[in-house]
Chain A
């Protein structure tokens, strides 16, 4: 079980909110191309182990 909620009403609301957001998000995926990397990058400091 991913989440441990005390009542089913809260669980239903949580799931519904996520479903609504991901449903709005999925159509955006058509814009992706293979060469597009995440904005989260390995910074110079991280690569050099600082």
Chain B
């Protein structure tokens, strides 16, 4: 069931918010031992919020489509009085005294928080194999990783534990788990969703966004969480659209297909699924436009370098507690100390160059389509793919859009094996186009 369907049933009194919470908690209890998608379950809070939602609806107070809908937050979003661990030992006992902007907005929208999701430690990785809170497993194949770092969020959505979750994405951490688990994941434009109250991994690459079971649901959540927030210096004052797509069509829509990098680096099973999705779009009238995109390989290098430095800067106060970090995190934090300062500054300058170059891509097409990841979900414990680091391989199609700050959504497409995602990326603040075309591709399958 999607948010839209549940919202309709809430308004016809076929179901109550309390009943939705009961079902959500039943599903969490059933799946937690095998999938491990949650760190904290907020049952008492959820029932309080659900009773209030039901009471308000009975009195004619309707806060909109998320009113009474159970959801979860990745455990990096501060929640006043509720432990916010970041999947780490470092923040294992951290109980914030403030709410994140996203949680505030969702509470105002009447959504019901049932818990906080397990994740890759400190949001700094893609396996979600967490040494402190346990391994998260992919619901489509429990021998495989769910992707990360928002692994628990994707698992909770894909296995019907919640209607939606909010994740963060620094190098693909929303889109990658969405692709590996078979749900929708949207990374908005930089500055579109406030980062206030999110424990940061990286100052200039972090984004917050929804994971859902449909593209329309992602739009509903975006309507609730997007907008300016003066408490976040990077928050944009650009007006917020209504992101819910209308009854558009793909006829004549110019879909950019990068001539290099993405297709050639895709595993056969991913490439075949991508080609079939493009064929379905063409059958619906879309025009595929081959486009030259400024070098994703180089943008990946720039993004990895910036992340190493900024993540180490974020964790600076805790670096002496070496034994409290997982082995993979510690190695990355150590690497961040060794990057020369001039390289970091020049990486930021090069970032600006590529942003300028990418702005010209949109003269030729409305959006760019790529696979969300070049491979299906790797096995738990797998560290390389054809000799390359599994983290670099998995994130190489998603990371460029963090560096560029552009919006991108991963939508599930039919595949012969494990789930495969198709990524729709667009111009800055082009969430409306990205969502609309993502929805048309999602529903064309």
Q: Measuring CB to CB, which residues of chain A are less than 8 angstroms from any residue of chain B?
A: 2-5, 10, 13-15, 17-18, 21-22, 24-25, 28-29, 31-32, 36-40, 43, 45-46, 50
CB pair A3–B338 under 8 Å, yes or no, is: yes
CB pair B339–A28 under 8 Å, yes or no, is: no
Across the interface, which residues of A come within 8 angstroms of B308, CB to CB? 18, 21
What is the bound-complex CA distance between A3 and B352, given in angstroms?
31
Q: Chain B's nearest CB lies how many Å from the CB of A48?
A: 10
| B353 contacts the other chain (CB 8 A) | yes
Beyond A2-B338, A14-B331, A43-B233, is A21–B301 a contact (Cβ under 8 Å)?
yes
CB pair B346–A39 under 8 Å, yes or no, is: no
- Of residues 199 to 256 in B, which have CB atoms within 8 Å of A's CB atoms? 204, 230, 233-234
| B140 contacts the other chain (CB 8 A) | no
Across the interface, which residues of A come within 8 angstroms of B331, CB to CB? 10, 13-14, 17
Other than the known A13-B331, A22-B305, A22-B343, what 10 A-B pairs have Cβ atoms closer than 8 Å? A3-B334, A17-B331, A18-B308, A21-B305, A25-B343, A25-B347, A31-B350, A32-B346, A36-B353, A39-B355
Q: By DSSP majority rule, is chain A's interface helix, strand, loop, or mixed? A: helix
Across the interface, which residues of B come within 8 angstroms of A31, CB to CB? 350, 353
What is the bound-complex CA distance between A18 and B333, given in angstroms?
11
A–B complex contacts, Cβ < 8 Å, 24 sampled: A2-B337, A3-B338, A5-B334, A10-B334, A14-B331, A18-B335, A18-B338, A18-B339, A21-B301, A21-B304, A21-B335, A21-B339, A25-B343, A28-B350, A31-B350, A31-B353, A32-B349, A36-B350, A37-B349, A38-B351, A39-B349, A39-B351, A40-B348, A43-B234
Across the interface, which residues of A come within 8 angstroms of B350, CB to CB? 28-29, 31-32, 36
Across the interface, which residues of A come within 8 angstroms of B305, CB to CB? 21-22, 25
Q: By DSSP majority rule, is chain B's interface helix, strand, loop, or mixed? A: helix
| B298 contacts the other chain (CB 8 A) | yes
Q: Chain A's nearest CB lies how many Å from the CB of B194?
A: 12
What is the bound-complex CA distance between A25 and B351, given in angstroms?
12
Q: Chain A's nearest CB lies how many Å from the CB of B293?
A: 16
What is the bound-complex CA distance between A22 and B345, given in angstroms?
13
Across the interface, which residues of B come within 8 angstroms of A21, CB to CB? 301, 304-305, 308, 335, 339
Q: Chain B's nearest CB lies how many Å from the CB of A23?
A: 10
Across the interface, which residues of A come within 8 angstroms of B338, CB to CB? 2-3, 14-15, 18
CB pair B335–A45 under 8 Å, yes or no, is: no
Across the interface, which residues of B come within 8 angstroms of A3, CB to CB? 334, 337-338
CB pair A39–B334 under 8 Å, yes or no, is: no
Across the interface, which residues of A come within 8 angstroms of B234, CB to CB? 43
- Of residues 308 to 343 in B, which have CB atoms within 8 Å of A's CB atoms? 308, 322, 331, 334-335, 337-340, 343
Across the interface, which residues of A come within 8 angstroms of B337, CB to CB? 2-3
Of all chain A residues, which has the CB nearest B355?
Answer: A39
What is the bound-complex CA distance between A22 and B341, given in angstroms?
12
CB pair A4–B233 under 8 Å, yes or no, is: no
| B302 contacts the other chain (CB 8 A) | yes
Of all chain B residues, which has the CB nearest A47?
Answer: B233
Task: From B230, B233, B304, name the one whose CB has the most chain A CB atoms within 10 angstroms.
Answer: B233
Across the interface, which residues of B come within 8 angstroms of A4, CB to CB? 322
Across the interface, which residues of A come within 8 angstroms of B355, CB to CB? 39
CB pair B233–A46 under 8 Å, yes or no, is: yes
Q: Chain A's nearest CB lies how many Å from the CB of B402?
A: 12
CB pair A38–B352 under 8 Å, yes or no, is: yes
What is the bound-complex CA distance between A33 and B62, given in angstroms?
55
Of all chain A residues, which has the CB nearest B392?
Answer: A21
Across the interface, which residues of B come within 8 angstroms of A17, CB to CB? 331, 335
Of all chain A residues, which has the CB nearest B203?
Answer: A40
CB pair B301–A25 under 8 Å, yes or no, is: yes
Of all chain B residues, which has the CB nearest A32?
Answer: B349
Which of the residues B334, B339, B340, B348 comes within 8 Å of A38, measured between beta carbons? Answer: B348
What is the bound-complex CA distance between A41 and B350, given in angstroms?
14
Q: Chain A's nearest CB lies how many Å from the CB of B354?
A: 9
CB pair B204–A22 under 8 Å, yes or no, is: no
